A and B are shown apart, each in its own frame.
Chain A
Amino acid sequence: MSNLNDAYKQNKVGPIFNGGDVAQAAIEAAEWDNPDKEITIDDKGAYVRISAEQEMIITRESMEEALGRDFQMNEIEIHLGSMAGQIEVTPEQIRFFFEKTL
């Protein structure tokens, strides 16, 4: 963090969960749904930051696979404490993204 004034010039996006089985499932789902991306996990105890460069998609199908049960995409809100990037939620997927690349 040598130059904090420019520290925001990065493109990491993704959800921040406050725990729960949904967070663990989302880590798996993020790996499956974004096969070309490196998914990084930063576990702070009370919250877990899941990140990828520029865009990350998590699908309902992968969440169901990871959880082993039915899952409605908006259930993700129960443990979604914050997010990096803009979001777009449809019944089939949640997408975190930046429009610009810095």
Chain B
Amino acid sequence: MYQIPRAEWYDLTRATNWTYSYVTEDEMFPEEMSGARGIPIEEWETYDEPYKVSYPEYVAIQREKDAGAYSVKAALERDAYVDRADPGWISTMIAHYGAIAVNEYAASLAEGRMARFAKAPGNRNMATFGTLDENRHGQIQLFFPHANIKRSRQWDWAHKAMHTNDWASIAARAFFDDIMLCRDAVAVSIMLTFGFETGFTNMQFLGLAADASEAGDHTFASLISSVQTDEARHAQQGGPSLKILIANGHKEEAQKLVDVSIWRAWKLFSVLTGPIMDYYTPLEHRSQSFKEFMVEWIIIQFERQLADLGLDAPWFWDDLVNDLDVTHHGMHLGVWYWRPTVWWNPAAGASPEDREWLEEKYPGWNKTWGKCWDVITDNLNNGREDLTLPETLPYVCNMCQLPIVGTPGNEWNVQDFPLEFEGRLYHFGSKADRWCFEQDPERYKEHQNLIDRFLAGEIQPADLPGALAYMGLGPGEMGKDAHDYAWAEAFKKQAEVA
């Protein structure tokens, strides 16, 4: 049967705006959901998505993708890779699934908002597929870890994490709710699909796939890189929105939406992806450092894309570039120290060989972060594990919900960036975190970070066990050192030989 080529009918069939007779345009597309910002609907109809797909094509392509990822899983299942993988790599997977899987469903809702409320028909069409994409990502990233629940309760956190008040879950939700669930359709297209998916998902789904492949984990590598092929398509929804905003005199706001999204994504990745790439992934399988991946994907590729679409580098670009050398080391030290508060087993990544690599990739690491690890190592080798475990909670930022960190050593530089707003004193971990708040205080002002909740008496008993119970962490779920301190033993042996 002859089929008319897509190019000959696509533009006509997706021109689905019509003249409403029973409702007004504002009732059809409420501003708080659509976010047209006063730009006439005719302008939104010029939205030209660069990646055009029909439904039959979509289904056929997605079937191929799923068949690929599921067949790799099926073929390697009997190999029981998980049983012989390095514990640091296991932690990488468990942290990833908990932080990502359920948020994919949230992303499906965000795509759904664009599919219904975007005034641009092209955006609605692409977002319909985006909704299905994100549903696939949620399902596949719950199904794969589910096979491992028999191995440890921590795998169950793929589904559980986002339904708890674990500090890492609060941080992830605070970010994803902000860019995905609590924005209008246009802002979602910019903050989620452009700011986050054109930029940062490449780090977690392609950069990490390179490490997975090096580590011999082909199931995980094929899964996450398959997810990213959907992202590569639906991430194209933001570019046309940006062009329309800029052409209609809204460049400043477009820039602000992008900047908030980038900064918040960066902070989340500094605690999730940074430690995974530079500390948990076994040394011999690290294909690049976290900083090198950030430079490749964000500092070069993503920033170049921003420039091409007519936007400027975010005002905090210098700070971000400088922070590539420091923030994630502080986040890692904090996560390892507060290890009972996470659902995975943090790998210290501080053996003599690891430290040599860290010093090479981050010159000066030994005289800053290394000094903290010296003390931890000594305590462990002197039988004082108790001194390496937390008794209290760290102060966390009122924007990113993560610990306020600085660089240790002789130039210890931790700094609070406070702000008083309507009688409440807020604390932020950086100038940019505070700036995000200042752009829209009404949006953020009621939020209570974990420490605010602790001080308000919501966490009882008001001590660490009470906090662990509040976070939903039961026995067999709380993190411990991934390698049972074998890395510290290596220093003891070195000392004995000397």
A-to-B contact residues, CB < 8 Å: 1, 4-5, 7-11, 16, 18-19, 44-47, 72, 74-75, 77-91, 98-100, 102
Contact = CB atoms under 8 A, between A and B. Distances in A.
A9 B363 CA distance: 25
Chain B binding surface SS class: helix
Contact of A18 (B61, B228, B324): B228
12 contacts: A4-B324, A5-B318, A18-B228, A45-B210, A45-B214, A46-B213, A77-B229, A77-B233, A81-B232, A82-B206, A84-B301, A98-B304
B65 interface: yes
Contacts of B202: 81-82
Interface in B202-242: 202, 205-206, 209-214, 221-222, 225-226, 228-229, 231-233, 236, 239
A6 to B, nearest CB: 10
Nearest to A91: B7
A1 B295 CA distance: 9
Nearest to B64: A78
Nearest to B201: A82
Interface residues of B, number: 50
B206 A46 contact: yes
Given A81-B206, A83-B232, A4 B299 contact: yes
A78 B295 contact: no
Given A18-B226, A91-B6, A100 B61 contact: no
B1 interface: no
A24 to B, nearest CB: 16
B385 interface: no
B285 to A, nearest CB: 10
Contact of B206 (A47, A78, A87): A47
Contacts of A84: 301, 304-305
A49 B304 CA distance: 16
Given A7-B295, A47-B210, A89-B51, 9 more contacts: A1-B295, A10-B304, A18-B225, A47-B225, A74-B53, A81-B206, A82-B228, A88-B50, A102-B307
A85 to B, nearest CB: 7
A89 B229 contact: no
A78 B229 contact: yes
Contact of A100 (B206, B221, B287, B307): B307
B209 A75 contact: no
Interface string B25-65: 00000000000000000000000001111000100010011
Contacts of A5: 313, 317-318, 321
Contact of A45 (B213, B232, B295, B300): B213
A75 B61 contact: yes
A80 B61 contact: no
Contacts of B474: none
Given A18-B229, A87-B51, A45 B205 contact: no
A100 B225 contact: no
Contacts of B212: 46
Given A46-B221, A78-B65, A82-B202, A7 B229 contact: no
Nearest to B198: A82
A46 B225 contact: yes
B394 interface: no
Contacts of B5: 91
A96 to B, nearest CB: 10
Contacts of B221: 46
A4 B239 CA distance: 25
B307 A18 contact: no
Contacts of B317: 5
A63 B299 CA distance: 32
A78 B304 CA distance: 25
Most buried by B among A10, A45, A75, A99: A45
Given A5-B321, A80-B232, A89-B52, A18 B304 contact: no
B308 interface: yes
B310 to A, nearest CB: 8
Most buried by B among A1, A11, A74, A79: A74
Contacts of A100: 307-308
B125 to A, nearest CB: 14
B49 to A, nearest CB: 10
B68 interface: yes
A46 B205 CA distance: 10
Contacts of A9: 304
Nearest to B51: A89
B7 A90 contact: yes
A16 B225 CA distance: 11
B85 to A, nearest CB: 16
A78 B308 contact: no
A8 B53 contact: no
B308 A4 contact: no
A100 B303 CA distance: 13
Interface in B377-429: none
Contacts of B303: 7-8
A81 B210 contact: no
Contacts of A18: 206, 209, 222, 225-226, 228-229
B60 to A, nearest CB: 9
Contact of B308 (A19, A81, A85, A89): A85
A52 to B, nearest CB: 14
A46 B209 contact: yes
A47 B205 CA distance: 10
